Chain A
């Protein structure tokens, strides 16, 4: 059975008395244990709403959200579901509770009633996993955005959740912070087998996932490996969605009549492809 199993879910917000705004229309999605899924889409396409359904912060209007076999919509399952699915938000400042890094990381396990000695071990291990152990006694407001976001991730790891949902965790970070966070997420997925659901606006981040799900207007538009999804450049463009820059470049070259062997997804891949195409000459010119 899939770890996250969303069956035919609809969701709407009450704007005012009697007026409803439909956000999700009959969405079904399965995420397996250990997967790294990127969720793409415009603002207001329902991806953030979906992320809050994953850990029972919101309850589906109709349909069912099963997390590890537990119905996330039931009040009595809430704690158990949140023990399994952690949520990291966009603004790193707003999700840290305590005034000291290690105490913030301890917040989750403390809520779960874990014995003190074990909390200590978990906190140290979590801070090491995100490479923030040296900052354990610092105040959060003295850290950079990327560091704060890594502390927030450590706070979830310390709860030993098997899945982390990240709602645009890099949107407020500079390129360096973004890379720090992406590197951390990728490592956690590979080394610890933690299931990752990454909601993002950056196509270059989505490419690093094992699977890309594209949402548009409350529906799932595409679902597949990054290469499959970003291969359909025209379809994405029709929905005003971007593709990674390297893909865009090669797509345009192809449209202009240049014959290319494949459509690359990342800059490295693109450079490699052109090098091969142009033979040794390109290498010489680049080196000189």
Chain B
């Protein structure tokens, strides 16, 4: 049912990837994604995929979970792959009407598919090994320089925290209201699309009313606990770099070196 929906797929384990500083993990994810997109030939691409694979192995999360995370984007992969096959340039290997398949097209297709898949895997390593609270915390720290430009970084982080806290609560409530309306004879399972959307109105209105009431209560509770914005606020859990974090940074530097070398030594596999 509704409550099965989880936000961010965090799998609590005790692994190097779990212990790593969340700020570092975010940077590392961005770093790997950049690598994938800068890779000009298959060697470099394979190497960056291997680097991300190392992260997957170190996370101690079964491969099955990672494969599951790919499911929702399979269609996108297939779609772009098909497009790329037919958009190649050069001598056609096979032709039917205006559709033609070239060597360049096939290469492009493989390249782009691998890119997307590895991209998703890289972000999965991050979300699988980092709890949502750690993620918001780390984002708040990383984006702190932006607050000098008057970007309300602390407020965004607080909104995220509260949203994460209240999503399960509101889902539970939605289910309750749906049952209550069904008990009064509301029909939510039959009829066309428009009818079904209309059937949702008696669910949404009480849900919104209750959400506003909760918000009012929450504001009272937060204010009476001395909340007055991010100014002068401290944190119980301070993010600190440990020895394994420096080790990870070292690996990233090494990976970058190898990656650049591979990119330069081997000729580019695809044009454009």
Contacts and interface: CB of A to CB of B under 8 A. Distances in A.
Interface string A178-216: 000000000000000000000000000000000000000
B133 A156 contact: no
Query: How many interface residues does chain B have, given as a range?
Result: 20 to 34
A57 B220 contact: yes
B226 A159 contact: yes
Interface stretch (A34-42, A97-105, A265-273): A97-105
Question: Which of B220, B224, B227, B236 neighbours the largest number of chain A CB atoms within 10 Å of its CB?
Answer: B224
B234 A97 contact: no
Given A87-B220, A111-B228, A99 B133 contact: yes
Interface string B211-245: 00110011011111111100011111110000000
B88 to A, nearest CB: 49
A155 B218 CA distance: 14
B226 A99 contact: no
A262 B115 CA distance: 84
Contact of B172 (A87, A99, A141): A141
Contacts of A95: 217-218, 220-221
B219 to A, nearest CB: 10
A24 B220 CA distance: 20
Contact of B234 (A83, A103, A116): A116
Given A103-B236, A111-B233, A114-B234, A82 B165 contact: no
Interface in A70-109: 79, 82-83, 86-87, 89, 91, 93-100, 102-103, 106-109
With most chain B CB atoms within 10 A of its CB, the pick from A79, A87, A110, A111 is A111
B221 A87 contact: yes
A115 interface: yes
Contacts of B133: 98-100, 103
Contacts of A97: 161-162, 165, 218, 221-222, 225
B168 interface: yes
Contacts of B221: 87, 89, 94-97, 152
Contact of A116 (B169, B226, B237): B237
Contacts of A107: 222, 225, 227
Given A94-B218, A95-B221, A103-B236, A141 B226 contact: no
A280 interface: no
B164 interface: yes
Nearest to A156: B225
B236 A99 contact: no
A269 to B, nearest CB: 36
Given A94-B214, A95-B217, A100-B133, A87 B236 contact: no
A155 B226 CA distance: 11
B132 interface: yes
Given A97-B161, A97-B218, A141-B168, A110 B224 contact: no
Nearest to B137: A103
A146 interface: no
B218 A110 contact: no
Contacts of B218: 94-95, 97
A138 to B, nearest CB: 12
Contacts of A96: 165, 221
A226 B109 CA distance: 82
A83 B238 CA distance: 23
Nearest to B226: A111
Interface in A150-187: 152, 155-156, 159
Given A97-B162, A140-B165, A141-B169, A116 B224 contact: no
Contacts of B228: 79, 111
A52 B219 CA distance: 13
A93 B220 contact: no
A235 B233 CA distance: 51
B236 A111 contact: no
Nearest to A140: B165
A99 B165 contact: yes
A74 to B, nearest CB: 15
Contacts of B169: 93, 141
14 contacts: A55-B224, A82-B223, A82-B226, A87-B221, A87-B224, A94-B213, A95-B220, A99-B164, A107-B225, A110-B233, A139-B168, A152-B221, A159-B225, A159-B226
| 6 shortest interchain CB distances as A-B pairs | A95-B221, A94-B217, A106-B236, A87-B224, A108-B225, A119-B236
Interface of B: 132-133, 161-162, 164-165, 168-169, 172, 213-214, 217-218, 220-228, 232-238
